[in-house]
Amino acid sequence: MAYQPVLTSHVAEPNSFTLDFYLKNQRGYEGLRKALTQKPNDIIEQVKASGLRGRGGAGFPTGMKWQFVLKDTPKPKYICCNADESEPGTFKDHVLMERNPHLLIEGCAIACYAIGAKVAYIYIRGEFYHVQEILEAELEKAYKAGYLGQNIFGSGFDCDVFVHRGAGAYEAGEETALIESLEGKRAQPRLKPPFPAVEGLYQSPTAVNNVETLCNVPLIVLNGAEWFAQLGPEKNGGPKLYCVSGHVKKPGVYEASMNTTLRELIYDHAGGIRGDRQLKAIIPGGSSVPLLLPDQLDTPASFDAVQKAGSLLGSAGLIVLDDTVCMVWLAMNLLHFYRHESCGKCTPCREGGDWLYKLLQRVERGEGQDKDLDLLFGVANNIIGKTLCAFGDAAATPVLTTMKLFRHEYEAHVREGRCTLPADWRRQGPVLAGAH
């Protein structure tokens, strides 16, 4: 049987973002009502049993994360919803917040109840001005209807949810950097441990969860852990949102189970490659992960299967590359991003990113030498594992993965003194088609 969307089942309908619509069509706030009749620890056990894994990139089990949140402490506890969504190629949380905001609000409230927090902050990226508008308007409605605020459903549970908008920093998507930013400082990561579960926001125990993760929580409470787990392969249960962009006919957000293969996502959901050209490579999980090749298309798009294939599912942002893409240019484009977005705290990433970009620029222009290729490899390898957060690895990956799989293109640039692909390949116009 075809997969039935659950997170995005109604997003294409008019006014799906309103409270009335949510109550009428999505059993709105019934999950919260049910959760408040149970013990907080039972909620955590259910989430653990469901096997829900963090949808932000790392795929860490959410129930475990909540269980680690320090219990015996006089300090308040916090939920931070990571809605920074800045990974190039990722745009799934945006759909949920814009079209189904009450699911997120309900998820935040249940998460607060589970870990014993009274406040949740939704940290959205600075560019989501329109999302802030909608979230704040819908939060107000939730407060008025008694789903947030004091003594929810007469249970004695109080919960506040606030929106906090960042101001343009990719690094704020890292959980400790997000906390720093929320505290009113530069978005720079902290040394771990202590992990946020022990000392997070305001030195208090904190759980940082992705938007899509929290949106799954009401569904688990309502339908049970077993229902959730059976939606996908073992340890990769539940619905998953995939963002497909790049050289496809119908770029967009598609919901599927993690049984779905990359081929189905690209050729069925996204309509295939632009102009029916040849597929050259796929970035399966946002710009920070290694490339996969066309012969790996039948890999299921699950955390475990993609990892086994040599990459990572990450934030499930698939960027599809056709045969017109120069891999040296691709690495250069991404290093421009990482160089710009490095927070500057760790030297290998701050200096190394810039160095890599300059080397790539030289090679791409056809001014590189053989020794530059060895230097690129050396610099990239000296960033990996030498920074506080995963940003360093993310910045080095585009270089290492393109050099591993397409070294001949680098060598051709050096040998020929120019790019050997047709000169106007990236000057083609965009393709738009009706996807959501």
Contact 124, 97 (CB under 8 A): yes
Closer residue to other proteins in complex, CB, 64/119: 119
Minimum CB separation of residue 186 from other proteins in Å reads: 4
Minimum CB separation of residue 339 from other proteins in Å reads: 10
CA distance 411 to 432: 35
Minimum CB separation of residue 137 from other proteins in Å reads: 12
DSSP 266-330: IIIIS-SBGGG--EEEEE-SSTTS--B-GGGTTSBSSHHHHHHTTS--TT-EEEEEETT--HHHH
Closer residue to other proteins in complex, CB, 67/333: 333
Closer residue to other proteins in complex, CB, 31/88: 88
Tokens 């704020």 -> residue:
172
Q: Where are the alpha helices (DSSP H) in 119-204?
A: 129-144, 175-182
Closer residue to other proteins in complex, CB, 50/212: 212
Closer residue to other proteins in complex, CB, 2/432: 432
Minimum CB separation of residue 154 from other proteins in Å reads: 25
Minimum CB separation of residue 181 from other proteins in Å reads: 7
CB atoms within 10 A of CB 72: 5
Burial readout 190-216 (b: 16 or more C-beta within 10 A, e: otherwise): beeeebbbbbbbeebbbbbbbbbbbbb
CA distance 403 to 142: 51
Measured CA angle at 259 (ends 253, 264), to 5 deg: 55
CA distance 13 to 372: 53
Closer residue to other proteins in complex, CB, 30/136: 136
Minimum CB separation of residue 359 from other proteins in Å reads: 19
Minimum CB separation of residue 387 from other proteins in Å reads: 18
Through-space distance between the first and last CA atoms of the chain, rounded to whole angstroms: 22
Closer residue to other proteins in complex, CB, 68/425: 425
Contact 292, 335 (CB under 8 A): no
